[in-house]
A and B are shown apart, each in its own frame.
Chain A
Amino acid sequence: MTWEELIAEPRRRDEHGVLVVLEEVDHDTRTAVFRRAGESFTVRADKVTSPSDFKPAPEFALEVKVLTGEIVDEDAERSPAGSGRARVVAAGVAAAGLALLAARRRR
C-alpha cells in the first residue's frame, strides 16, 4: 500500500472489524496518525504497509499494571471493540469511589 493510498481512506475497518480512523496527516514529514480502539498509532511514509498490520510495536507496548482489585469489565476483553491488550481493573481506591484505568503506555 502506498502512502497516498493509505491516507486516501480516512475510515476503514481492520480484519477484526475494529474501526481505524485517520486522525492526523503531516504532509511535510509524511507522517500519519491513526486511531484504533482508543489508541493512537503513528505511521511514517517510509514504513507504510497497511493500517491493518498495526501490531503493538515496542514503543506502543502496554504495561498492564494490576493494582489490588478485581476485574470489573471482563466483557471489554472479548468484544470486538476491545483492544485485547488492556484490562480494566478496579484499583485499591474504593474508598474514594474511583476505578482506575490501569493500562499505561510505556515511553
Chain B
Amino acid sequence: MKPAPFEYVVAGSWDEAVAALDGDSRVLAGGQSLVPLMNQRLVRPRRLVDISGIPGLIERRRGALRIGATVRQAALERSTLIAGGWPLLRQAVRHVGHPATRARGTIGGSVVHADPRAELICALIALDARFTLSSGRAVHGPLQLGPGELLTAIEVPRLQPFAKSAFVAYARTSGSFADAAVAVVLEPDRAADAVLGAGRAGEAEAAVRAGASATDAAALAADLVDGDHHRALVAELTRRALVEAGHA
C-alpha cells in the first residue's frame, strides 16, 4: 500500500497553495482520507500541495466563530471557546475517527472531502455555517469548489442565548463511520435539524417550531433518507437528539 509516484509541494500560505495547484493536483491537509486512498492507488494525483503548514486559528469576533480550514479536529475537540459557544461541534467531532486520526485530520479536510458520512459537515449545516474560499467567494450549504479554489475558513454565526444542541449517531463500533447521525440546534425562535448525508430536514424543523412532539417531528426527518432500517435509525436518533436538546 504505497502511493503511485507524485510531486510534493509545501505551501506556506494560501496564495502559494493556489499558485501551486493545477488540474492534476490534490490538496493535502491532515491526510486522513486522502493518504489511505492514495496508498490504495485509488487516487493518483500528479502533484500534492501540502497546506498543513498554513496556520489555522479558532477565533471569535463579535460573537461569531471563524475556524481556519487547517485547524486540526483535535484542536476543535479541546477548544474551550467551542465547548462554551458551539458545543454541537465538540459533540460531533468526537464521532470523527479516533484520537489518533483527529490529531492529524483537519476540519477543512473533512468539509472538502465531502464524504456523505462526515459528521462535521452535518453539524456545520445545522449551525448555518458559511464556507470562505480562497477566491473570496463565500458559500452557504453544499460546498462545490471551482478550479483552483480552496476552502480557507468556516464561519459559524453566534447562537442565541439559551440555545441547546445535540449530536446523536449510530455506528457499528466506536469511531467507525456512522450508519446514521443527526444534529439538532434549538433556539428560542429557530430549530435546525440536519441528517447525516441528507442535509436539513425542513419539514421536521417546521413541525418542531409548530409544537409537534419529538416523535412526530422525527418521523418527518426520517423521510429524507432511503431504506426502511435507515429511516428507523434516523427517526430514533432525531427523536433522541430533540429530547436531549430539551424538546419533548
Contacts and interface: CB of A to CB of B under 8 A. Distances in A.
Question: Do any beta carbons of A and B sit within 8 angstroms of each other in the complex?
Answer: yes
Interface of A: 10-11, 21-29, 33, 35, 40, 42
| Size category, B interface | 10 to 19
B60 A26 contact: yes
A10 B55 contact: yes
Interface stretch (B73-81, B107-115, B147-155): B73-81
A24 B62 CA distance: 15
Contacts of A29: 60
A33 B78 CA distance: 11
A22 B60 contact: no
A25 B58 contact: yes
A26 B55 contact: no
DSSP majority for the B interface? Answer: mixed
B61 A28 contact: yes
Given A23-B71, A28-B62, A28-B63, 10 more contacts: A21-B55, A25-B58, A25-B59, A25-B60, A27-B60, A27-B61, A28-B60, A29-B60, A33-B80, A35-B75
A59 B75 CA distance: 20
DSSP majority for the A interface? Answer: strand
B128 to A, nearest CB: 20
Interface in B40-61: 55, 57-61
A22 B75 CA distance: 11
Contacts of A26: 59-60, 81
24 contacts: A10-B57, A11-B55, A21-B55, A23-B57, A23-B71, A23-B75, A23-B79, A24-B58, A24-B79, A24-B80, A24-B81, A25-B57, A25-B58, A25-B60, A26-B59, A26-B60, A27-B61, A28-B60, A28-B62, A28-B63, A33-B79, A33-B81, A35-B75, A42-B80
Contacts of B80: 24, 33, 42
B63 A24 contact: no
A100 to B, nearest CB: 15
| Residue in A21, A23, A40 with the greatest tally of chain B CB atoms within 10 Å | A23
Nearest to A27: B61
Nearest to A21: B55
| Residue in A24, A25, A35 with the greatest tally of chain B CB atoms within 10 Å | A24
A25 B82 CA distance: 11
A22 B57 contact: yes
Interface in B12-40: none
Contacts of A25: 57-60
A24 B59 contact: yes
A33 B60 CA distance: 12
Nearest to B72: A23
